[in-house]
Amino acid sequence: LKNKRLAMADDDNRNDLNLKYYPKIVNIELGIINTGYSVDENDVYYYKDDKEAEVKRNEELEKSQNGSQNEKSNAADEKDTKQTWDNQLEFLLSCIAMSVGLGNVWRFPFTVLFNHFNPKFRIAFENGGGAFLVPYIVSLVIVGRPMYYLEMCIGQFSRLVFNKRGFQHRGPVKVWEVVPFFRGIGYTSMIAVLCTVSFYCSIMAVTVYYFFASFLTPLPWSETICENNSTIPNSTLVSLLSENGPDVCELHEQSNTSISELYYFHKVFPQLEDINNGIGVPHWKLALCLLLAWVIIYLCIVKGIQSAGKVAYFTAIFPYVVLICLLIRGLTLPGSLNGIYYFIRPQWDKILSPKVWFAAVSQCFFSLTVGFGTITFLSSHNKFRHNVYRDAIIISITDTLTSLLAGCTIFSILGYLADSMGVEVSEVTKGGPGLAFIAFPDALAKLTWFPQGFAVIFFLMLFVLGIGSAVSLTGQLITIIREQYPSWKEWRVGLVMCLIGFCTGMVFITPGGQFILTLVNHNGADFIIYITAMLEIIAVSWVYGVNNFCKDLKFMLGRETELYWKVCWAFIMPVFLLSLLVYYFVQYDWLTHEGVQFPTSAVVCGWILSGISLSCLPFCAIHAVSNSPGETWMEKLKASFKPSSSWGPKIPAERELWLKMKEEDDVDCLDKKQVDRMSIASTVTPKSDGVP
d(CA 164, CA 687): 12
Three-state SS for 488? coil
Q: pLDDT tens digits, residue range 409-451?
A: 988 988 888 888 888 887 776 666 777 788 888 888 888 888 8
Position 162 scores a pLDDT of 52
Predicted confidence band at 674 (pLDDT cuts at 50, 70, 90)?
Answer: very low
Q: pLDDT tens digits, residue range 370-384?
A: 888 899 989 988 888
Architecture per CATH, domain 80-214+263-271+283-624, reads as Up-down Bundle (1.20)
Predicted confidence band at 170 (pLDDT cuts at 50, 70, 90)?
Answer: low
Q: Is 276 annotated as a binding residue?
A: no
Are 115 and 355 in contact by the 8 Å Cβ rule? The answer is yes
Residues near 403 by beta carbon (within 8 Å), at least 6 away in sequence: 104, 108, 109, 367
d(CA 179, CA 165): 25
Residue 223 predicted with pLDDT over 90: no
| pLDDT, the chain, mean | 77
What is the rounded radius of gyration, in angstroms, for the C-alpha atoms of the chain? 28
Average pLDDT value for residue range 34-57? 46
Are 542 and 627 in contact by the 8 Å Cβ rule? The answer is no
Percent of the chain past pLDDT 90, that is, above it, reads 29
Report which of residues 232 and 187 the model is more confident about: 187
Average pLDDT value for residue range 216-245? 56
Percent of the chain past pLDDT 70, that is, above it, reads 74
Average pLDDT value for residue range 451-469? 92
Q: Which of 428, 398, 400 is nearest to 412 (CA)?
A: 428
Predicted confidence band at 394 (pLDDT cuts at 50, 70, 90)?
Answer: very high
Position 305 scores a pLDDT of 80
Predicted confidence band at 160 (pLDDT cuts at 50, 70, 90)?
Answer: low
Position 216 scores a pLDDT of 85
Residue 20 predicted with pLDDT over 50: no
Q: Exposed, middle or buried, 374 (CB in 10 Å: 0-12/13-18/19+)?
A: buried
Report which of residues 378 and 686 the model is more confident about: 378
Give, in order, the Cα–Cα distances in Å from 289 to each of 221, 268, 296, 502: 19, 11, 11, 11
Are 46 and 64 in contact by the 8 Å Cβ rule? The answer is no
Are 112 and 343 in contact by the 8 Å Cβ rule? The answer is yes
Are 412 and 340 in contact by the 8 Å Cβ rule? The answer is yes
Predicted confidence band at 239 (pLDDT cuts at 50, 70, 90)?
Answer: very low
**134-138, 150-154, 226-230, 271-275: the lowest-pLDDT one:** 226-230
Peptide bond into 218 cis (omega under 30): yes
Three-state SS for 31? helix
- Which DSSP string corresponds to 373-401? SHHHHHHTTS-TT--HHHHHHHHHHHHHH
Give, in order, the Cα–Cα distances in Å from 302 to each of 291, 336, 411: 16, 43, 38
Are 185 and 432 in contact by the 8 Å Cβ rule? The answer is no
Average pLDDT value for residue range 646-673? 70
Q: Is 380 annotated as a binding residue?
A: no
Are 451 and 126 in contact by the 8 Å Cβ rule? The answer is no
Q: Is 238 annotated as a binding residue?
A: no
The number of beta carbons lying within 10 Å of the beta carbon of residue 450 is 11
Q: Is 469 annotated as a binding residue?
A: yes
Report which of residues 225 and 631 the model is more confident about: 631
Residue 405 predicted with pLDDT over 80: yes
pTM: 0.79
Average pLDDT value for residue range 23-40? 39
Residues near 493 by beta carbon (within 8 Å), at least 6 away in sequence: 478, 481, 482, 485
Position 380 scores a pLDDT of 87
**162-176, 281-295, 338-352, 565-579: the lowest-pLDDT one:** 162-176
Average pLDDT value for residue range 244-256? 59
**HEC secondary structure over 58-93:** HHHHHHHCCCCHHHHHHHHHHCCCCCCCCCHHHHHH
Q: pLDDT tens digits, residue range 94-144?
A: 999 988 888 788 777 767 665 544 433 343 445 656 778 888 888 899 999
d(CA 622, CA 618): 6
Report which of residues 432 and 233 the model is more confident about: 432
Position 682 scores a pLDDT of 36
Predicted confidence band at 225 (pLDDT cuts at 50, 70, 90)?
Answer: low
Residues of the chain with CATH 1.20.1740.10: 80-214+263-271+283-624
Q: What region, left, alpha or beta, does residue 43 occupy, with left being phi > 0 and alpha being psi -120 to 50 degrees?
A: left
Q: pLDDT tens digits, residue range 496-543?
A: 999 999 999 999 999 998 899 989 988 888 888 888 999 999 999 999
Q: Is 104 annotated as a binding residue?
A: yes
